[in-house]
Amino acid sequence: MGASSGTTVAGQANGVRGTNSSHLYGPTFICLDSSYNLYVADSDNHRIQFWSNGASSGTTVAGTAMSMFTGFSGSANNLLNRPYGVVRDPNSGTIYIADYSNHRVVSYVTGASSGTIVAGGNGPGTNNTQLRNPAGLYFDSSTNSLVIANYGAHNIVRWVLGANSWTLIVGSINGSAGNTSTLLNYPTDVTFDSMGNMYVVDMFNHRVQFFFEGQMNGTTIAGVTGEIGNNATLLNFPVSIVLDTELNLYVADMYNHRIQKFPSYLLRSLLI
């Protein structure tokens, strides 16, 4: 920590957007493999780009970018419509993509030219066979399932691969938003620590919620419920999170245009 500037590892350093292999257009979520290769949800190009460590251009591994100004979207199995979350099974190499505007999650095996719907895909909705604008994903290898930040339904759900429906983890089962400790308001991302505790970005409540394993009552560990600001304790539409090996929490604070680090010792003090 302490660096004052970043290095461009994908896309153009001057901020120019585009559809060719060396450009991106509205990237949202990313995933790293064990070799530090990068998978980028190139959302406004409606594709996933694979960027080898140190490469100057990417390869499209899901979706396509065809037009002069933007990618080609659609609902066919070889197309995406604003992909957001992307995660990878480290054993098989299969990637899973939250196909936000198609209200589904699709999988792509290595080298495939089209995907397979593994969750949702039957229109937007709040029943347990549907998704509504899925955003962040977490692949749980221990249960062979995906944990989905079901943005438009205001909940976090688990979809076991091969199943036809989800089970509720936290939030409203009927798609209601709220700001209490058991409700969410447009969640965008989800992750877990090694003890099975869950962290959720509750975007429109401007907070990050912590849930002990198996619990549906959350504790706010970053931000203040319903308050927008740019001081050290507030967030402004947080969008994604990551934990490091020491359980420090990093939050992409979207409209404050910054990444905030919350040290693990401070987080522990909130949970005592």
Q: Taking the CB of residue 112, how many other CB atoms lie within 10 A of it?
A: 15
Percent of the chain having pLDDT more than 90? 82
241 has pLDDT over 80: yes
- Which of the four pLDDT bands, split at 50, 70 and 90, describes residue 71? low
Beta strands of the chain (E only): which ranges? Answer: 27-32, 38-42, 47-51, 59-63, 83-88, 95-99, 104-108, 116-120, 134-140, 145-150, 155-160, 167-171, 187-192, 198-202, 207-211, 219-223, 238-243, 249-253, 258-262
Strand pairing of 116-120 and 134-140? Answer: unpaired
For position 258, what pLDDT does the model report? 86
Asked whether the beta carbons of 31 and 86 are under 8 A apart, the reply is: yes
User: DSSP assignment of 95-118, as one string?
Assistant: EEEEEGGGTEEEEE-TT-SS-EEE
Query: What is the rounded CA–CA span in Å between residue 1 and residue 118?
Result: 38
3-state secondary structure at position 9: coil
For position 65, what pLDDT does the model report? 61
pTM value? 0.93
For position 68, what pLDDT does the model report? 42
Beta strands of 52-204 (E only): which ranges? Answer: 59-63, 83-88, 95-99, 104-108, 116-120, 134-140, 145-150, 155-160, 167-171, 187-192, 198-202
For position 190, what pLDDT does the model report? 98
For position 257, what pLDDT does the model report? 85
Where in the chain are the domains?
Answer: 30-271
Tokens coding 64: 């396509």
For position 176, what pLDDT does the model report? 98
CATH class of 30-271: mainly beta
| 67 compared with 36, residue with greater pLDDT | 36
Beta bridge partners of residue 51, listed in sequence order: 38
Tokens 């559809």 sit on residue:
19
| 70 compared with 252, residue with greater pLDDT | 252
Mean residue pLDDT of the chain comes to 92
3-state secondary structure at position 271: helix
| 2 compared with 79, residue with greater pLDDT | 79
Among residues 197, 218, 195, the alpha carbon closest in space to that of 208 is found at 218
Mean pLDDT over 178-182 rounds to 98
For position 152, what pLDDT does the model report? 98
Residues sharing a CB contact under 8 Å with residue 118, sequence separation 6 or more, in sequence order: 96, 105, 106, 107, 146, 159, 161
Q: Which amino acid is at 247?
A: L
| 233 compared with 75, residue with greater pLDDT | 233
pLDDT digits over 125-168, tens only? 999 999 999 999 999 999 999 999 999 999 999 999 999 999 99
- Which of the four pLDDT bands, split at 50, 70 and 90, describes residue 7? confident
